[in-house]
């Protein structure tokens, strides 16, 4: 067969592509040089951690870096617990006096009876001390006594973008001094591994992270620590392409607080909230009923009786500004309040009853365990009082101080207390119960049962009726809709 001739133009194009490719390979080599340089800059600060701990039985399909145990079951999968050896990693972030502070994961050192640290130069520190732990971020600080130590530098995680190169350091499966490279796959991930009280805002990466990497640093191409390797999503217990790291914007302040105070105090308002942009139909209807036209902010649904915000924030308020800065979402609000020192007075702007109002809330300390607000205490079996007003499935009577003492409601001067509520009625389905005290209807204060009944009768329930309600547990916002 005759060969097809190649034109001079085509040949010249191919030649140019080859030359360009060879030149571009120099850039690839430059990237390799970056990785090698980062390794030399960071590795002296990376440590391996071994613990002896009493561990509970573990199991499950998805494996989020269990305590990297290599105990009786030799691998940290399902097991019966007992005394076990744990392995993990850490990074020296401050050299102080005759030693240094190391940041690692809480799950690496939690409940450890002893902690041994091996430095990058092979020295072993057998008596490392856990200075403080913070389960809500899965971070912990360990103190060692040694000389000739080098601290890594912090970097900023706030400027990260998808596609940025990152490198993960640690001791996966006990292989000390390992480094892997990848990119940022996603940001602001919540994966549900730290529980309802957990602070999750993970950096997702495709740099290989495996058991043993826990607590090691995630660094940028400048050799700066922008995260702490914490978790993997896997059905095998090994890396499946999804790794997660606590960003430095969270890790750094926790580190500073733990090494100084041994614990993290977080601010707390004691309110139940929802995004005004929530797509849930009920939330949309409630927010719309307030007349709020904004696209960002946080709706206050309930205020706990013993909450720091009680008596200042009201159910139905929409928080739009804190300390002069716009509140974008629930996540935004929670992070900013949690980062506020308890006892601090926060200035807020809220949308209330059709207009803006400025309030000041003294932030409390977030308790170790918080029960979800239920709003109403449930149907009570209180002895029935004299006949009252009946409207829309509710029997109402005047609220007074004596009634307040009987049902445990304080801080309310007047209103209409619910004596009975018909099961299956619209008020019942909206969550109203015996013992609830109605203080406002559609934004209008009501001082007596008669006033409340009058406003309720005049309201168009098909469009929704807004109630401010208080009971022994706190205050909340209720929307009654008759379909």
Residue 92: C-alpha distances to residues 11, 77, 126, 157, 208 (Å)? 56, 29, 16, 18, 21
Query: How many angstroms separate the CA atoms of 330 and 200, rounded?
Result: 13
Query: How many angstroms separate the CA atoms of 290 and 214, rounded?
Result: 47
Residue 284 CB partners (closer than 8 Å, separation 6+): 278
Residue 247 contacts residue 217 (beta carbons within 8 Å):
no
Q: Which stretches of 401-443 are DSSP H helices?
A: 401-407, 426-429
Residue 268 contacts residue 365 (beta carbons within 8 Å):
yes
Q: What is the CA radius of gyration of the chain?
A: 30
What token pair was written down for 469?
Answer: 């309600």
Residue 371 CB partners (closer than 8 Å, separation 6+): none
End-to-end CA distance of the chain: 82
Q: What string of H, E and C letters represents the secondary structure of 201-247? A: CEEEECCCCCCCCCCCEEECCCCEEEEEEEEECCCCCCCCCCEEEEE
Query: How many angstroms separate the CA atoms of 124 and 205, rounded?
Result: 31
Query: How many angstroms separate the CA atoms of 189 and 157, rounded?
Result: 14
- The residue ranges of DSSP E strands in 339-379, in sequence order, are 345-352, 355-362, 364-365
For residue 316, give the nearest of 441, 416, 430, 415 by alpha carbon.
441
Residue 65 contacts residue 231 (beta carbons within 8 Å):
yes
Query: How many angstroms separate the CA atoms of 387 and 237, rounded?
Result: 65
Query: How many angstroms separate the CA atoms of 148 and 154, rounded?
Result: 20
Q: Annotated catalytic sites, by residue?
A: 107, 138, 214
């Amino acid at each position: 067969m005759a060969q097809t001739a190649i034109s001079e133009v085509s040949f010249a194009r191919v030649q140019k592509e080859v030359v360009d490719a060879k030149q571009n390979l120099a850039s690839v080599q430059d990237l390799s040089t970056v990785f090698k340089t980062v390794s030399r800059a960071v590795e002296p600060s990376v440590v391996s951690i071994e613990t002896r701990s009493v561990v509970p039985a573990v199991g499950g399909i998805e494996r989020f870096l269990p305590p990297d145990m290599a105990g009786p079951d030799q691998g940290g999968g399902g097991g019966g617990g007992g005394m076990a050896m744990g392995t993990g990693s850490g990074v020296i972030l401050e050299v102080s006096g005759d030693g240094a502070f190391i940041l690692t994961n809480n799950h690496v050192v939690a409940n450890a009876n002893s902690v041994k640290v091996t430095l990058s130069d092979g020295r072993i520190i057998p008596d490392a001390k856990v200075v403080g732990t913070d389960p809500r971020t899965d971070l912990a600080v360990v103190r060692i006594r040694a000389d000739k130590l080098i601290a890594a530098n912090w970097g900023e995680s706030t400027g990260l973008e998808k596609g940025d190169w990152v490198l993960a350091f640690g001791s996966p499966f006990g292989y000390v001094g390992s480094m892997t490279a990848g990119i940022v796959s996603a940001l602001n991930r919540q994966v549900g591994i730290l529980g309802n009280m957990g602070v999750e805002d993970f950096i997702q990466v495709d740099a290989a992270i495996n058991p043993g990497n826990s607590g090691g640093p995630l660094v940028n191409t400048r050799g700066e620590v922008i995260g702490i390797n914490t978790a993997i999503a896997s059905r095998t217990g090994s890396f499946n392409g999804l790794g997660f790291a606590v960003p430095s914007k969270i890790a750094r302040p926790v580190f500073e607080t733990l090494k100084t105070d041994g614990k993290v105090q977080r601010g707390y308002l004691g309110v139940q909230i929802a995004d005004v942009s929530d797509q849930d139909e009920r939330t949309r209807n409630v927010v719309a009923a307030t007349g709020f036209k904004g696209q960002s902010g946080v709706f206050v649904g309930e205020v706990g009786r013993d909450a720091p915000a009680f008596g200042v924030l009201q159910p139905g308020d929409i928080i739009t500004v804190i300390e002069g800065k716009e509140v974008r979402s629930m996540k935004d609000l929670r992070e900013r309040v949690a980062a506020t020192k308890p006892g601090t007075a926060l200035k807020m702007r809220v949308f209330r009853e059709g207009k803006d109002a400025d309030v000041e809330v003294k932030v409390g300390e977030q308790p170790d365990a918080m029960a979800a607000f239920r709003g109403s205490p449930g149907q009570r079996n209180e002895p029935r009082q004299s006949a009252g007003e009946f409207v829309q499935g509710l029997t109402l009577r005047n609220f007074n101080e004596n009634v307040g003492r009987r049902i445990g409601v304080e801080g309310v001067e007047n209103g209409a207390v619910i004596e009975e509520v018909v099961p299956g009625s619209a008020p019942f389905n909206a969550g109203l119960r015996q013992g609830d005290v109605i203080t406002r209807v559609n934004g209008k204060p009501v001082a007596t049962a008669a006033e409340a009944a009058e406003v309720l009768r005049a309201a168009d329930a098909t469009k929704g009726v807004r109630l401010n309600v208080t009971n022994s547990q706190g205050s909340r916002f209720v929307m009654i809709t008759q379909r």
